[in-house]
Amino acid sequence: EVSADPKHAQALEVPVAVRLTARKPSRYTFGLGYGTDTGARGQLGWERRYLNADGHHVRAETRVSEIEKSLSASYLIPIRDPRTDQLAFSATYSEGDTRTADTELRRLATSRTVARGDWREILSLNLQNEKFVVGGDAGESTLLMPDAQWSRSWGESRVYTRDGARLVLGLRGAADSLGSDTDFVQTRITAKWIEDVGTRGRVILRGDVGASRVDDFAKLPPSVRFFAGGDRSVRGYAFDTLGPTNARGEVIGGQHLLVTSVEYEHVVYGNWAVAAFYDAGNALDDFTDPLEKGAGLGLRWKSPVGQVRIDVATALSDPDKPWRLHLNVGPDL
């Protein structure tokens, strides 16, 4: 609580009183949700906010959905500017079951997060073991994987913006000479741009491009392969059901990714809006491979935690597929 007392100012100095009340040492979180990509989902978390005078803290979280369940724990140490910068040591266990792959993942990681001007930089080193079944073929992969990510947002609000953008750049890889099962280098660029049109309209452009160089793709686990389709990818198709297939016609994921989207949204009353969109994209083995296309209409409601988006889309590249419902909730950026 901060209060100023200008009546007792002397020269150019105003007395300011600051009163602090310590937060409770433990913080608990609980959440429920639903999305057509994940189905019903829940989250339970615990954080010990301070362990010592240097601000060290620990965090544990479990997440459960119809396609994945995970348990993670982290030890976090503030560095440089404690508002934005930290060093983290974490352990994660997860099991996934999608239409294309079954996975069991164990990961140990250390990461360093810092703010560099308007950019956020995360440098990490991950040691992961992943057992998987994809396209009917079983495998197991161990990777020692350096990872770098840089992100930046423009705009006054990330929850709902009339004019803004977000850019995420990622680079990761592994080498068998350092104990990994295969050599690969992978980069990914994700961008979103929102521009207002008049007083009621918005144009929303979205792009996602990824590329890999892999020595032995069969040894690459699903968590590092590219898939497309779903609420935030190519609508009109189920989550992660687009990509190269094996001889049996089963999707096994690709080395590259290309997804684009254009959407127009128009406010019709209060916090309610309607939208029309066109998506194109696919997971690819070669950037000359064909893209799958989807289009549809949507209903939007601006909630305090971000838009509630209800979309009805059709798979233009596959006329035999029925219209598909997509539901997701979250901030614009």
**pLDDT tens, 90-123?**
999 999 999 899 999 999 999 999 999 999 999 9
Q: CA-CA distance, 32 to 38, in Å (whole number)?
A: 12
**pLDDT tens, 278-323?**
999 999 999 999 999 999 999 999 988 889 999 999 999 988 888 9
pLDDT number for residue 60: 98
Confidence check: pLDDT of 157 > 90:
no
For the segment 199-227, the average pLDDT, to the nearest whole number, is 94
Cα end-to-end span (Å), the chain: 31
Q: CA-CA distance, 328 to 333, in Å (whole number)?
A: 14
Picking from 86, 145, 151, the residue whose alpha carbon sits closest to that of residue 112 is 86
**pLDDT tens, 119-155?**
999 999 999 999 999 988 899 999 999 999 999 999 8
Picking from 279, 256, 276, 231, the residue whose alpha carbon sits closest to that of residue 67 is 231
Decide if 300 contacts 311 (C-beta within 8 A). Answer: no
Task: Give the pLDDT band (50/70/90) at residue 204.
Answer: very high
- Reported pTM: 0.89
For the segment 169-188, the average pLDDT, to the nearest whole number, is 95
Residue 301 has phi, psi (to 5 degrees) of -130, 125
